[in-house]
């Protein structure tokens, strides 16, 4: 996928690819030196590694920064469903495969949105591999607190038409997930990998994989992940939270604080879900010393 110059100027990284065991190519950014513990950045839906571009540019002078695009997202391959299962299990397994391929044992983990569930599911049996953690408007525990507008996108036929046909998820997120309007080039960058029906397959499948129903197939795995969170009661954890988030609102932050009371928390009252767009410098000033001091 050729990136337009207006986007590559904001995202000036060399592309790297790894073929996961299912046979699909996973794209990832790998920047910085090998000094210290590598930092892994995991995006959610409907973003991609572009979401972390400014943070990687700031932190790569301190150490290695790796940001994968989940299969179906960003610059990774976008196979049809069910050629790839597009669920929490498969995304989390891909992460461990990538780290094993790169021969990385311990990591600093930075997560946003569904990246929290993916990352902590991947490490649910390997909590010792996480040295430090940064959480941003995310969850890795069971909740039925899902906005009605997102539940609408999960409906059979209508949901796929809205999300894949009319870009009714990634498109609205570009203005609903921020408090301040995005510049055109940044909006275009966020939406670039999701330009048509075929390219929005993961956006739709992520919505479908929310374990809302009591018999949802992903629910048992997410419960396992939730049960493993106690393993991080001595792991340094920093929370940066956009308080204007309509989805991962303050209630989810309180859920983290209840499970892991030692979390260091920074609230940003005038930031939305895409808090690295709304309040980048404020977030960077907290994250950088936390990870590298």
Please tell me the predicted confidence (pLDDT) of residue 34.
86
Average confidence (pLDDT) over 76-81: 97
Q: What is the pLDDT of residues 176-203, one digit of tens each?
A: 999 999 999 999 999 999 999 999 999 9
CA separation (Å) from 137 to 19, 44, 109, 113, 255? 30, 10, 14, 6, 11
Crossing angle of helices 88-101/115-122, nearest 10°? Answer: 60
pTM: 0.98
pLDDT at 1 > cutoff 90? no
pLDDT at 226 > cutoff 80? yes
CA separation (Å) from 207 to 99, 178, 250, 289? 26, 19, 21, 34
Q: Report the half-sphere exposure of 3 (CA within 13 A, side-chain side).
A: 21
Please tell me the predicted confidence (pLDDT) of residue 197.
98
Q: What is the pLDDT of residues 87-122, one digit of tens each?
A: 999 999 999 999 999 999 999 999 999 999 999 999
Strand partners, 18: 26
Please tell me the predicted confidence (pLDDT) of residue 35.
85
C-beta atoms surrounding 33 within 10 Å: 12
Please tell me the predicted confidence (pLDDT) of residue 2.
83
CATH of segment(s) 5-292: 3.40.50.1820
CA separation (Å) from 258 to 230, 233, 253? 11, 11, 9
Confidence band (pLDDT; 50, 70, 90) for 36? very high
Q: Are 75 and 102 in contact (CB under 8 A)?
A: no
Long-range contacts of 190-199 (CB under 8 A, 24+ apart): 190/46, 190/47, 190/48, 190/50, 190/51, 191/167, 192/3, 192/4, 192/7, 192/50, 193/1, 193/48, 193/69, 193/73, 193/74, 193/75, 194/46, 194/167, 194/170, 197/164, 197/165, 198/78, 198/80, 199/78
Q: Report the half-sphere exposure of 28 (CA within 13 A, side-chain side).
A: 25
The percent of residues above 70 in pLDDT, for the chain, comes to 100
Please tell me the predicted confidence (pLDDT) of residue 214.
95
Q: Are 29 and 16 in contact (CB under 8 A)?
A: yes
Please tell me the predicted confidence (pLDDT) of residue 81.
95
Please tell me the predicted confidence (pLDDT) of residue 15.
94
Q: Rounded to a whole number, what is the largest CA-CA distance in the chain?
A: 50
DSSP label at residue 163: I
For the chain, what is the mean pLDDT?
97
Q: How far apart are CA 180 and CA 192, in angstroms?
A: 20
Helices (H), the chain: 5-8, 53-59, 88-101, 115-122, 148-152, 158-160, 170-176, 184-191, 201-208, 219-228, 250-259, 275-278, 280-292
């Amino acid at each position: 996928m050729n990136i337009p110059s207006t986007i590559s100027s904001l995202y000036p990284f060399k592309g790297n690819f790894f073929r996961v065991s299912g046979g699909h190519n996973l794209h990832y950014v790998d920047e910085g030196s090998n000094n210290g513990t590598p930092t892994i950045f995991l995006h959610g839906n409907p973003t991609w590694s572009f979401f972390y571009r400014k943070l990687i540019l700031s932190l790569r002078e301190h150490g290695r920064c790796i940001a994968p695009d989940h299969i179906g997202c960003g610059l990774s391959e976008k196979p049809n469903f069910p050629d790839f299962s597009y669920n929490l299990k498969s995304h989390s397994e891909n992460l461990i495969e990538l780290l094993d391929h790169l021969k990385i044992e311990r990591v600093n983990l930075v997560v946003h949105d569904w990246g929290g569930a993916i990352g902590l599911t991947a490490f649910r049996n390997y909590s010792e591999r996480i040295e430090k953690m940064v959480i941003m408007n995310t969850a890795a525990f069971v909740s039925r607190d899902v906005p009605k507008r997102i539940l609408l996108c999960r409906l059979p036929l209508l949901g796929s038409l809205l999300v894949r046909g009319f870009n009714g998820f990634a498109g609205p997120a570009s203005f609903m997930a921020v408090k301040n309007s995005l510049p055109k080039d940044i909006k275009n960058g966020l939406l670039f990998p999701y330009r048509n029906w075929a390219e929005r397959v993961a956006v739709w499948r992520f919505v479908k994989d929310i374990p809302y129903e009591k018999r949802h197939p992903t629910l048992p795995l997410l419960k396992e992940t939730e049960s493993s969170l106690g393993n991080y009661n001595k792991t340094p954890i920093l929370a940066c939270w956009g308080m204007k988030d309509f989805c991962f609102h303050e209630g989810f932050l309180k859920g983290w604080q209840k499970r892991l009371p030692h979390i260091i928390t920074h609230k940003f009252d005038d930031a939305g879900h895409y808090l690295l767009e709304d309040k980048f410098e404020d977030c960077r000033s907290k994250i950088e010393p936390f990870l590298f001091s």
